[in-house]
Chains A and B, each alone.
Chain A
């Protein structure tokens, strides 16, 4: 019954948001597309888990803060999301509310460094906007001479960025070039002093990374996050509704979506793809295969013999040690954070009271251990209503991907206890209100989503793994060497978060190559 053969123009491996974006992009251009998802639910990092998982509407990722506006427009995503402000919590109750470039204290007064912060934010936003021009195109190869049409186009694109850089003026341009590779800690502490404001920026820069805010290149990852306007959005109904919006867009475009369809191998013959074979033996023929899983997993599916030795080595050595975990709580009553006005319980709450705090939270993970004082990014999706049950969703930094001996039950319990202790300090009594809790470690995230190392961005967003070396040199232009095989996931340029640009760009590259 299962050994049937089907034909599509393109097969997409992985039904995460990038896979669905790639699929929709191709289907909207009139191609027949089949999306294959291993698990019973779509969404990847946005996924809420299968029926066996407890029902949290934002089980993994819980925010849209880097969704590419062009992707949203092109796909016609029907998203209902509300904008959020951020509150960076302080242990002494002197929390700071961050709303775009404004920084206020809880009583509505300006933060003492509000002016410096506004200036900094404006400047970073300008830098980020300039850099984000790179994110909607395939990274430049610059392999031909300048008369080569493709290379000429790349040069013109870069020239545009160069002109934009020039247009900022000499002082700003110099500052941009100085800051680009620097660390986020120095920049924040220089201008803002260390405290909840600097801590918030530091935590946003390194969330999901295997680096603390004092590591070089961390400002770049902050700029990446700011690239799409720095507006934070929480989908109404949780990420489940965002998944539904992506699925809806794909369905409207005519994509065929198959769940519980794990790919056993990518079929390659004569150095080009011919389709995929599923675990149940079904063969699906396709002219192009776009894989949203990482480079290593893609290589394994196609067979390592089809790839150059250097490519395989780089894929093997890809830096992808996940450090973000996820804590989901089902609560008997709405939690109350000390000194936080009721309406601001609907904000994004950060526990990152200083940049130093964030750095210290990172230190233990280097040795496979877990901080007693982790950073948390907290959402209370039902805070607008007193109705129960209430939920709490928190992204936890940092958790090791491979603690010595693995994630044993004892270690999980210990980690959860430590996170709860931090929460308790800011929201006294929260522990007593917990009905049910679920802690997802990077290892769990890897198991559930297939992301290498359970990494939030499918691979570290370091200066050695961005642009034309993302994820690795030789696979950075969505192409994998084998004709018709493409990377379309967050491991590809421009990178992670719920962004969509990797999927879109990959699809456009496949079309440009005439692969379909």
Chain B
């Protein structure tokens, strides 16, 4: 054996392949599907055991999903609020310390760069969580402001605890102080453990944030407390179904983050994604404001909307037609919703379809059954409220269920 203490080998310094998150040892032990994918360079579960079991656990029990690969940027300093307010389309000043806000940010042409959640720890202390790598952009946006930007993506771990019994688990784990958290509240429940009442399922749920070193201990603590509450570790597929039911959009799926597009015109504005309420034209300048004002005046190019379809065949990728003849859009995320028993989807339509024109819309769904393709034309109706919505998601304090 040679002495390796002097210098790390290249492989140690720059690991090849996917990087395990701190929870990987537990996930590995639970996984019978052995189905993994890459997420921002990390190993992430597609399915742990069985997608359907995991989905029903989200809606009926509780689930743990490892969100550590999320990109996390800490923005601190006297100008942090001003800097973020110039970057974000919504008024960041209205997100008080101890609150989390869903937010979007645009380039100079008003095209969405990404969406994410902004955590406000204090007056001058924020963390931005998002799907896309964003350090370069955040640094550009921070230039000229008295702020410090730290990329915490690799040092902070996150667990998403979602489902009707999620609070009961926190309580039994001794974290009952989380009872006071209203949706989108954020608090340091124990030293170094921040819990936010947020999630991607539209149900009761929490996200727990800690230093990497504290991750496994917290996992075990939740797992031990969950004995009577039906906790399941889940993968991406089950979560994706839940988020479609909740009507949440996903980057790279329902819209193309502008910095990752090469072709002209593939970006979308927040208005086109249906987030006019998150664009505050009344506050001071923010990135893309002038372009968005212009678009509001000239009219949108597309509408991203929630739709319900006839039949029960999932509509992913289906083309949409007006009067069964004119192609006017396509489904970006489609699924049969087991909980609501509806055929649901998010879809992008060319304006004015999906906006002023909502009648006589049809979807062409291709169905593959044992080597035979079948084409079904089913009616489409535009929806305004989330497909899945339950009062337990908002009840404070949450009930045990």
Contacts and interface: CB of A to CB of B under 8 A. Distances in A.
A binds B: yes
Interface of A: 271, 299-300, 304-313, 316, 474, 481-482
Interface size class of B (residues with CB under 8 A): 10 to 19
Contact of A313 (B143, B285, B288): B143
Nearest to A270: B284
Nearest to B108: A308
Contact of A310 (B82, B108, B144): B108
Nearest to A483: B290
6 contacts: A304-B143, A305-B285, A306-B284, A310-B107, A481-B285, A481-B290
A312 B290 contact: no
Given A305-B284, A308-B108, 18 more contacts: A271-B285, A299-B144, A300-B144, A305-B82, A305-B86, A305-B285, A306-B284, A307-B285, A308-B290, A309-B86, A309-B87, A309-B137, A309-B140, A309-B141, A312-B144, A313-B140, A474-B108, A481-B290
A310 B285 CA distance: 14
B289 A271 contact: yes
B398 to A, nearest CB: 40
B153 interface: no
B201 interface: no
Counting chain B CB atoms within 10 Å of each CB, the highest count among A271, A308, A310, A311 belongs to A308
Nearest to A269: B284
Counting chain B CB atoms within 10 Å of each CB, the highest count among A299, A308, A309, A481 belongs to A309
Contact of A304 (B137, B145, B288, B290): B145
B287 A309 contact: yes
B304 to A, nearest CB: 24
Given A271-B290, A481-B290, A306 B285 contact: yes
Minimum-distance CB pairs A-B, first 9: A304-B144, A308-B108, A310-B108, A305-B86, A309-B141, A306-B285, A313-B140, A308-B287, A309-B140
Counting chain A CB atoms within 10 Å of each CB, the highest count among B85, B141, B144, B288 belongs to B144
Interface string B101-132: 00000011000000000000000000000000
A474 B284 CA distance: 19
A239 to B, nearest CB: 36
Contacts of A312: 140, 143-144
Contacts of B82: 305
Counting chain A CB atoms within 10 Å of each CB, the highest count among B85, B87, B284 belongs to B284
Contacts of B108: 308-311, 474
Counting chain B CB atoms within 10 Å of each CB, the highest count among A304, A316, A482 belongs to A304
Nearest to B141: A309
A308 B288 contact: yes
Contacts of A299: 144
A308 B111 CA distance: 13
A401 to B, nearest CB: 21
A353 to B, nearest CB: 45
B207 to A, nearest CB: 28
A300 B144 CA distance: 9
Contacts of B141: 309
A310 B86 CA distance: 12
A311 B289 CA distance: 13
A308 B285 CA distance: 8
A309 B86 CA distance: 9
A304 B142 CA distance: 10
Contacts of A481: 285, 290
A310 B141 CA distance: 8
Contacts of A313: 140, 143
A468 to B, nearest CB: 15
Contacts of B287: 308-309
A310 B108 CA distance: 7
A267 B284 CA distance: 13
A474 B143 CA distance: 18
A307 B143 CA distance: 12
Contact of B143 (A306, A308, A316, A482): A316
Contacts of B140: 309-310, 312-313
Contacts of A482: 285
Contacts of B107: 308-310
Interface in B144-165: 144-145
Interface string B81-109: 01101110000000000000000000110
Nearest to A313: B140
Nearest to A299: B144
Contacts of B87: 309
A291 to B, nearest CB: 17
A482 B285 CA distance: 9
A464 B119 CA distance: 40
A312 B139 CA distance: 12
A474 B108 CA distance: 9
B83 to A, nearest CB: 8
Contacts of A316: 143
A482 B289 CA distance: 11
A299 B145 CA distance: 13
A329 B278 CA distance: 64
A312 B290 CA distance: 15
A148 to B, nearest CB: 11
Nearest to A271: B285
Contacts of B86: 304-305, 309
Contacts of B285: 271, 305-307, 481-482
Interface string B264-300: 0000000000000000000011011110000000000
